[in-house]
């Protein structure tokens, strides 16, 4: 072969390589999308025929805690997570001819967002195909208003497929209806314990720890409420002698609202359960649950009163700047959440993750570790222009979602979590223990309480607050249980 011809071939190859490289790093459509996904590439492929609907699929994102950028993007910034999210929707577009549209209104709160779906249903204008709901706020209104389709009846959806979490959906079904969808497209938003690894080493030889790692405590079923509190009590240092100052060091820190709700469920309790007749009853006032909740409240109160804990009872979310962060180096353990963990990566801190503690070691043989899902649900309005298109789009959307979660896990959290075997194992435990229950999901101030703020879910929060005027748990139950039960009964009766 002539030398000039070899040079020409090499030059052309180099140009093609550079073109591919530039294309993969531009903000335009990624070249990975050019690899059309055919059935032959998968061990399993949905029973959805390739189509060209030439339609929009608009999904409204309830704006609180749902991380809507992880669902639908107008364009990719080129980051690994953006690329995975954008590629998913482009694959759906290539397969079905459907443009996925992101809708959001940040002026609406955790209840009033429901008006978006109500308007779309009442006007039958076909402007909304799906909605990502709040994890409990507004959900009873959506169902009570008969604005949601039953996933059992949506054409094109196979709830038995592994990318739908049918077991999770079944925990919150109502009279056989599955109004709330949950699958691989739902980002797993849950609370956990994050801890400072360097600080832990300073206390590892203490008798209560005995040189054992947090990870082994979790694996052996020893990671309980008492163990967490006993470790926290090792740490408090009043460096200035004036109580809790800006220099003090604490064993535990948290905002009180959403995270504290999680402790009830982490300790193996549901707020409502079905009786023999199939009716749902508030059970927090039964002897078993009363005792467990009362113990939980007393232990958390003692932790705070011992100065081992720094708790902001005014704060609603863990990532609020007013909460004492793990990044300060002044706290051993905090309650944090999976979706904000990437924020730790901006700091020079070695952190680990753990599930919320069980109530006691016996729980390992019953419910095991439990993690509440706070990320919301997929809902479909009772009026859409093309039900088949909606069902098939959600089917393919969930099918193509595996890479989004893998990207978050391996690339976003990789260096500090996924690449560290112990932390990777803990995050697997946390995500595999995702749960919810009827009382938590269908509790709102409108339906379940007597006008108080989160009466069903907020007892631990309020009763551990040193400034609480609610009295003890017994008096709290006496004031609230009847109205909680009556509110749910009225809601439940309206479901056919």
Dihedral in degrees, nearest 10, Cα atoms 259, 262, 267, 270: 160
At 491, list the tokens.
């809601």
Quote the pTM value: 0.88
- pLDDT digits 0-9 by tens, 47-102: 999 999 999 999 999 877 678 889 999 999 999 999 999 999 999 999 999 999 99
| Mean of per-residue pLDDT scores for the chain | 86
Question: Could you tell me what percent of the chain has a pLDDT over 70?
Answer: 87
* Structure-token match 């009033």, residue found: 112
Report pLDDT for 217: 96
Report pLDDT for 26: 38
Mean pLDDT in residue range 316-323: 75
- pLDDT digits 0-9 by tens, 355-375: 999 999 999 999 999 999 999
Backbone angles phi, psi at 253, to 5 degrees: -145, 150
Q: State how far the Cα of 49 lies from the Cα of 38, in Å rounded to an integer.
A: 11
- pLDDT digits 0-9 by tens, 373-420: 999 999 999 999 999 999 999 999 999 999 999 999 999 999 889 899
* Structure-token match 């006691």, residue found: 360
Give the pLDDT band of residue 32 (cuts 50, 70, 90).
Answer: very low
State the first-to-last Cα distance of the chain, in angstroms, to the nearest integer. Answer: 80
Q: State how far the Cα of 214 lies from the Cα of 198, in Å rounded to an integer.
A: 13
């Amino acid at each position: 072969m002539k030398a000039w011809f070899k040079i020409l071939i090499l030059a052309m190859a180099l140009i093609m390589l550079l073109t591919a490289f530039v294309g993969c790093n531009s903000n335009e459509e990624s070249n990975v999308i050019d690899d059309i996904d055919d059935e032959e590439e998968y061990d399993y492929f949905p029973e959805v025929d390739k189509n060209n609907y030439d339609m929009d699929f608009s999904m409204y994102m309830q704006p609180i805690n749902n991380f809507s950028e992880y669902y639908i993007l107008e364009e990719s910034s080129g980051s690994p997570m953006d690329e995975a999210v954008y590629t998913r929707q482009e694959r759906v577009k290539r397969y079905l001819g459907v443009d996925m549209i992101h809708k959001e209104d940040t002026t609406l709160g955790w209840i009033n967002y429901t008006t978006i779906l109500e308007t779309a249903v009442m006007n039958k204008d076909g402007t909304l195909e799906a909605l990502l709901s709040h994890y409990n706020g507004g959900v009873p209104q959506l169902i009570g208003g008969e604005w949601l389709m039953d996933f059992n009846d949506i054409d094109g959806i196979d709830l038995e497929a592994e990318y739908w979490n049918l077991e999770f959906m079944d925990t919150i079904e109502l009279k056989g209806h599955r109004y709330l969808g949950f699958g691989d497209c739902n980002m797993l938003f849950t609370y956990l314990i994050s801890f400072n690894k360097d600080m832990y080493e300073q206390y590892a030889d203490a008798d209560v720890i005995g040189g054992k790692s947090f990870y082994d405590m979790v694996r052996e079923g020893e990671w309980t409420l008492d163990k967490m509190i006993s470790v926290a009590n090792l740490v408090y240092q009043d460096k200035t002698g004036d109580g809790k100052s800006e220099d003090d060091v604490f064993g535990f820190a948290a905002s009180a609202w959403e995270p504290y709700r999680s402790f009830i469920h982490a300790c193996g309790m549901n707020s409502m359960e079905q009786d023999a007749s199939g009716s749902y009853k508030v059970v927090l006032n039964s002897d078993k649950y009363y005792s467990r909740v009362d113990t939980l409240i007393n232990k958390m109160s003692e932790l705070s009163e011992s100065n081992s804990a720094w708790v902001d009872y005014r704060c609603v979310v863990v990532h609020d700047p007013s909460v004492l962060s793990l990044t300060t180096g002044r706290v051993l353990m905090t309650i944090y959440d999976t979706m904000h963990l990437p924020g730790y990566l901006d700091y020079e801190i070695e952190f680990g993750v753990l599930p919320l503690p069980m109530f006691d070691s016996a729980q390992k043989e019953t419910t095991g570790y439990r993690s509440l899902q706070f990320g919301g649900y997929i809902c479909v309005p009772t009026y859409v222009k093309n039900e088949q298109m909606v069902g098939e789009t959600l089917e393919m959307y969930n099918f193509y979602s595996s890479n989004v979660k893998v990207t978050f896990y391996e690339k976003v959290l990789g260096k500090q979590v996924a690449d560290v075997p112990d932390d990777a194992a803990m995050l697997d435990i946390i995500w595999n223990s995702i749960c919810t229950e009827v009382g938590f999901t269908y509790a709102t101030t409108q339906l379940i309480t007597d006008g108080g703020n989160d009466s069903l879910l907020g007892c631990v929060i309020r009763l551990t607050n040193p400034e609480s005027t609610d009295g003890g748990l017994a008096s709290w139950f006496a004031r609230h249980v009847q109205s909680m039960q009556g509110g749910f009964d009225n809601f439940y009766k309206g479901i056919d």
